Amino acid sequence: MALKFHIKTYGCQMNERDSDSASALLIAHGYLPTEDENEADIVILNTCSVRDQAERKAIGKLGIMKRIKAERKHMIFGLMGCMAQSRGEELLKTIPHLDFVIGTDQIHSIPDAVEQILNGTGSKLDLRERCGADTPGIDMHRTDTIKHNAFISIMRGCDRYCSYCIVPYVRGHERSRNPESIVEEARELVRHGVKEIMLLGQNVAAFGLGRHAPNLPDDLSPFADLLKEIAKIDGLERIRFTSPHPAYFNKKLIETIAAEPKICKSIHLPLQSGSDRVLKKMNRPYDVAKYMHIVNSLRALVPEITFSTDVIVGFPTETDEEFNMTRQVMNDVGFDNAFIFKYSPRQGTVSARMDDDVPQDVKEERNQILLKDLEERQCSKNASLVGKEYVLLVDGPSKRNPKRWSGRTDTFKLAVFEPKQEIKAGDLVKVKIVRATPMTLYGEVVE
Ligand code: SAH
Ligand code: SF4
Ligand code: F3S
């Protein structure tokens, strides 16, 4: 009988995408996926290291797996992902119930690793650098769970070395994929019914540039070229991407986003800090003026565009005044959404050598202030959308009330509505917003 596997994913969308490739590879090798880890013969945790809290979650789960494995002795238990890459060797030595560890660049070898454990042969640890970004197998998708939206990783790794960030150390050098193979992957997904594609990478706007320095000439953006090629695919309705680094936003990219209707008008543009001094210490090669220039240029071309961001509070030496600059920039841009993180020193990074001198309670306080600002802004923004009409890409019925369906606007707002006729996930439906809460819009189907 075929063995069943379960992959539990922590961390970012790139990890989700990697879990999907690993699952597709395991399925192709005859293993069966299961949603229930308690009936799985093979359990793999796909881990994240970006903040201490992310690692603690995985460590907690490692403890739980000890108990599960004590009852199910035949079970194979493995680790993949960023924490596997950074701490795999140590974990394999100290955790007897861990069978194998696969690094971020060896996803294609997961079926082999499982087979070797089953046969009692071979190595338990594979942290080798570095598969190419086009290694066969890592572009596979699970076709049994495919929906109307899908992820495509367009590059691997990161060469930016922001001083706080562990990603370049755990994901390796930046490698862009061949654009033709990305477009082919997108076409294949569309043949399977996909309507919306999210392009993934830690530094997507630097796609195809190699080691090109930031602050590009106005007319050079291989990423913009890629967006245009993907937009030509018939049947594809929407293109999103995450994360673009502001330093690579030039005129060509801005104009492409504005001009191409399939590119969603909701841009995630990580700010990190609103203080030029702190940005410099973070090794983020842009200043607030450049950031605002990108926002204002896009807004001038596309007035309805929305922005979301990432910011870090309590970076070493951040003063109250500098924190207030971040708060000010966030209010000036008027972000529709923001991921606010308390600085967490990561071993091996440049900022880990700086004194983590902003006390935890100050970080917490700054975090709360920004969250409250965000909530107030979301409240008033959503209220201002009542009466407007939007086209939703339908996600499906809500779990609690199957009569109520939900979908997303091009600007990534979630709206719920009661369908008038037969609809399915992936359909486009026009609604008029009749009511709003901070997180949700309520629409009525128009026509
Ligand atoms: N490549 C993306 C970010 C990926 S990591 C970019 O450059 O924008 C996602 C977010 O985690 C970052 O944007 C940053 O805000 C946050 N982050 C990364 N390292 C962190 C750390 N050491 N402490 C707190 N937040 C961190
Ligand atoms: Fe980390 Fe900076 Fe690379 Fe983003 S661009 S992954 S924050 S090093
Ligand atoms: Fe975490 Fe790795 Fe993503 S560290 S945020 S899973 S690239």
pLDDT in tens, 245-267: 999 999 999 999 999 999 999 99
| 196 beta partners | 149, 238
pLDDT in tens, 285-307: 999 999 999 999 999 999 999 99
pLDDT in tens, 70-122: 888 889 999 999 999 999 889 988 888 899 999 999 999 999 999 988 888 76
Mean pLDDT of the chain: 94
Give the mean pLDDT of 211-240: 92
Question: Residue 345 to residues 59, 289, 353, 360: CA-CA distances in angstroms?
Answer: 18, 28, 9, 12
Q: Decide which of 196 and 401 is more confident.
A: 196
Ligand nearest to the CA of 349: 1
Which of 48, 176, 245 has most ligand 2 atoms within 8 Å of CB, for mutation?
245
Does the C-beta of 162 come closer than 6 Å to ligand 2?
yes
Q: What is the pLDDT of residue 439?
A: 79
| Percent of residues, the chain, with pLDDT higher than 90 | 83
Ligand 3 atom closest to Cα of residue 83: 4
Q: What is the pLDDT of residue 69?
A: 87
Q: What is the pLDDT of residue 135?
A: 85
| 156 beta partners | 175
What gap in Å lies between CA 145 and CA 19, rounded to an integer?
Answer: 13
Q: What is the pLDDT of residue 29?
A: 96
Lowest-confidence region among 127-131, 353-357, 437-441: 127-131
Does the C-beta of 245 come closer than 6 Å to ligand 2?
yes
Q: What is the pLDDT of residue 123?
A: 67
Q: Are 368 and 323 in contact (CB under 8 A)?
A: no
Q: What is the pLDDT of residue 134?
A: 82
What gap in Å lies between CA 402 and CA 73, rounded to an integer?
Answer: 40
What gap in Å lies between CA 63 and CA 75, rounded to an integer?
Answer: 15
Cis peptide before 243 (omega within 30 of 0): yes
pLDDT band at residue 361 under the 50/70/90 scheme: very high
Ligand 3 atom closest to Cα of residue 47: 6
pLDDT band at residue 215 under the 50/70/90 scheme: confident
Give the mean pLDDT of 13-38: 96
Distant-in-sequence, close-in-space partners of 308: CB < 8 Å, separation ≥ 6: 266, 267, 268, 269, 335, 336, 337, 338, 339, 412
Ligand 1 atom closest to Cα of residue 164: 22
pLDDT band at residue 130 under the 50/70/90 scheme: low
pLDDT over threshold 70, residue 131: no
pLDDT over threshold 80, residue 127: no
CA-proximal residue: ligand 1, atom 19 (nearest) = 165
Q: What is the pLDDT of residue 57?
A: 93
pLDDT over threshold 70, residue 39: yes
CA-proximal residue: ligand 3, atom 3 (nearest) = 12
Q: Are 268 and 230 in contact (CB under 8 A)?
A: no
- Measured N-to-C along each axis, helices 110-119 and 13-28 cross at an angle, to the nearest 10 degrees, of 50
**3 state SS of 114:** helix
Lowest-confidence region among 132-141, 201-210, 288-297: 132-141
pLDDT over threshold 90, residue 216: no
pLDDT in tens, 307-352: 999 999 999 999 999 999 999 999 999 999 999 999 999 999 999 9
∠ Cα 347 203 149 (to 5°)? 115
Q: How many A from CA of 12 to the centre of ligand 3?
A: 5
| 377 beta partners | none
Question: Token pair 């929407």 is at which residue?
Answer: 238
Q: What is the pLDDT of residue 129?
A: 62
Give the mean pLDDT of 215-239: 95
What gap in Å lies between CA 41 and CA 58, rounded to an integer?
Answer: 19
Output the pTM of the full model: 0.96
Q: How many A from CA of 53 to the centre of ligand 1?
A: 13
Q: What is the pLDDT of residue 132?
A: 74
Q: How many A from CA of 162 to the centre of ligand 2?
A: 5
Ligand 1 atom closest to Cα of residue 162: 7
